[in-house]
Chains A and B, each alone.
Chain A
């Protein structure tokens, strides 16, 4: 079951904040966040594991709410370089093959 990301698209001014959500109808073991710029490969940002942990990466952080089966990616004080499409990839509880199921993506555009 594909995770659902919201919103589909966000337009920000430099310095503004954004939140991208990733929800699943199935129990989650892990959530991977990637950023992809047009015509390039997805770049790994971070993994959240079940347990409700929160992680940070520069001004980008994320949380994982196991109960809600949802992860949120927080981008604070956005920079032009944050523009791109953000994908969450989910790993199921019994996945021992590394298979990730990706959401449809959230396009973020940061304007000067």
Chain B
């Protein structure tokens, strides 16, 4: 069964550095998402992306964050000037359709640890 893949599985970075989290969505999916989960807490929406544009972003997704689809398969989340509070699990998800009546399939996540 096709799945969303994320790399790396764990990223350790010094505070203030930039990180890029990578995702390969399911191949026939057109809509992509990033979510964040701080340890022990709920899953939080960051951003949705379609047709090379951001569809919606949350208040968490400020100027420190950016997303990109650099080629036909990858979907990346860049975090500039990382802060301690950026430490979390970051999940990429994809769906065939954009409406909230479409299932979103999650990758295994990248655990980001900021030191």
Q: Flag if A91 contacts B91 (CB, 8 Å).
A: no
Q: Does A25 belong to the interface (CB within 8 Å)?
A: no
Q: Flag if B98 contacts A97 (CB, 8 Å).
A: yes
> Which chain B residues lie closer than 8 Å to A1 at the CB level?
none
User: Roughly how many angstroms separate A89 CA and B104 CA in the complex, as a whole number?
Assistant: 10
Closest beta carbon of chain B to A11's beta carbon, Å: 18
> Which chain B residues lie closer than 8 Å to A102 at the CB level?
42-45
The stretch of B11-19, B65-73, B105-113 in contact with A is: B105-113
> Which chain B residues lie closer than 8 Å to A87 at the CB level?
42-43
Q: Flag if A98 contacts B31 (CB, 8 Å).
A: yes
> Which chain A residues lie closer than 8 Å to B102 at the CB level?
47, 98
Q: Flag if B91 contacts A30 (CB, 8 Å).
A: no
The residues of A with any CB-CB pair to B shorter than 8 Å are 2, 29-30, 32, 34, 40-44, 47, 49, 87, 89-92, 95-105
